[in-house]
Amino acid sequence: MRIIETHAAPSPRRVNIFLAEKGITVPREERNMMTEDLKGGEFAMLNPWHRVPVLVLDDGRAICETIAICRYFEEIAPEPPLFGVGPIGKAEVEMWNRRVELGLSNAVFAVFRHLHPKMAHLEVPQIREWGEANKEKVTSELCRLDERLGGSRFIAGSDYSVADITALVTVDFMKPARLGKPERFDNIMRWHAEVSCRPSAKA
C-alpha cells in the first residue's frame, strides 16, 4: 500500500492530517503536480483525472479522491471516528464537510487557480475575472463559517471531524492564494488556533 501525493498540495494534506489523527502510517510517493508528472506512465493509468492523492492498495487497485481515501481508512480503523457517530452525527459531519467543500474551499481554490501566475499552465483558460469574483464568495463563506463557530466548538459540533480537516486546510491555503488570514473573524480565529495545535496539523 502507498499514497501518491504532492506534499504541498491541499488535498494530500487533508489525507495526511486524517491519517495522523488515526495514527496510521502509509508509505508516500512524491509527484510534482506542477509539471507533466501526473499525465503519463503508471500514474495516468492509476488516475486518468491526473490528480493527487491516489491510494494504491496492495492488490494494485487505486482509490482516488480525498474523501474516498479517508472513508477507506475510517472503515478499517474506525477509532477515533472522524465521520461522526450514529445516524445524526454522521449526517451532520457529511453536511458540514460538503458545505465547506462546496463553499469556502471551492472559492479559495478558484482564486488561487485563476489569479496565481504559477497556475497559468495548469488552469487553461485562466480567467482573472472569475478569480476576482470568488474573492467576494470567500468573504461570504467566511461569514457563514464564523457564525457557525460562534455556537459550536468544531465545525460539525462538539467533536473534531473530517469537516475540521477540510476547513483547516482551506483556511491555511488562503495564504498561498494571497487572501491573507481571516483575522476579522474572531470565531474562526479561535477555532483555527485550537485545531492548529493538534499534532496532526503538522502532518
- What's the pLDDT at 37? 75
In this structure, the dihedral spanned by the alpha carbons of residues 181, 110, 194 and 4, taken in order and rounded to 10 degrees, is -130
Give 4-17 pLDDT, tens digit per residue. Answer: 999 999 999 999 99
Give 167-187 pLDDT, tens digit per residue. Answer: 999 999 999 999 999 999 999
Query: Could you tell me the pLDDT band of residue 33, with boundaries at 50, 70 and 90?
Result: confident
- What's the pLDDT at 36? 74
Helix (H, G, I), strand (E, B) or coil at 62: strand
Q: Which residue segments constitute the domains of the chain, with CATH numbers given?
A: 2-76 (3.40.30.10), 86-202 (1.20.1050.10)
Task: Give, in order, the Cα–Cα distances in Å from 76 to each of 69, 90, 120, 128.
Answer: 11, 17, 39, 43
